[in-house]
Chains A and B, each alone.
Chain A
Amino acid sequence: MASTQPLRRTTTEGEVEVKDAVETQKPWNVIVWNDPVTPMTVVVVIFRKIFGYSNNKCTQLMMAVHHEGRALVWSGHRERAESYCVKLQVAGLQSTIEQDN
């Protein structure tokens, strides 16, 4: 009744699930919105303090906020995006997060 065949597999073909594409989570973006009262130098100082970016990068981001009404200032994991968003709001800038399309 018991099989005398050895319990040895000759192949694993068909047993390994093959995924064609690697699934990655879309990053979360931190957005800063323009307002008509905040002095430009204040925005630059806040970006520098919170993100540690260079003065040039902070100025470019500030100008993007000013001219386009909003700017993406950081992108990455959701938890860090939320944390940066909170820091920006605490510093008095209008900021939100959104998942990358």
Chain B
Amino acid sequence: MVGAKLFTRRRDGRVEVRMNDYGRSVVKSAFENVLAAERDPNHEWHVALTGPIDPSLDQDNPLSMLARQNETSTNAELASLTIDEQFLNDGEAWAWLTTLQVALRSTAQSNGLLTDEQLAATNDEILTYVRMLQQFLFDLAACF
């Protein structure tokens, strides 16, 4: 997967996914984890997905929180549904980008990686996973 771009914008406007089977399996797992975390309060990523909107309030606006939950789930569902596609339209590519980003930040938060120092000191397995998601995101962001 190293060397070639994993996502490229084609002339017809679609985003081409040039990932091998291993890369897709990593992305698929990330999408599934975001969906599971939205639905399961005991999932290790759940806390990362439910941060406050207005920290000065004891309880956030339930409508805003519902909107966030719906939109996150919709993006993750659309991303999961298109995991085997070779070409993505704009909406699908955006769903991939946001769901991958949610997965990346949830991984960081659930492992206590809140500073550069904590990230540098983390174990190789987590660091490799984080770097992989970052590379996916870097290439996908270049298509927008």
Contact = CB atoms under 8 A, between A and B. Distances in A.
Interface in B49-102: 51-56, 61, 64, 67-68, 71-72, 75, 94, 97-102
Interface residues of B, number: 38
Counting chain A residues whose Cβ lies within 8 A of the other chain, the interface size class is: 20 to 34
Contacts of A46: 98, 101
B105 interface: yes
A26 to B, nearest CB: 13
Interface in A82-101: 82-83, 85-87, 89-99
Interface of B: 51-56, 61, 64, 67-68, 71-72, 75, 94, 97-105, 107-108, 113-116, 118-119, 130, 134, 137-138, 141-142, 144
Contacts, number: 95
Given A45-B141, A86-B67, A92-B102, A36 B53 contact: no
B114 A35 contact: yes
B101 A91 contact: yes
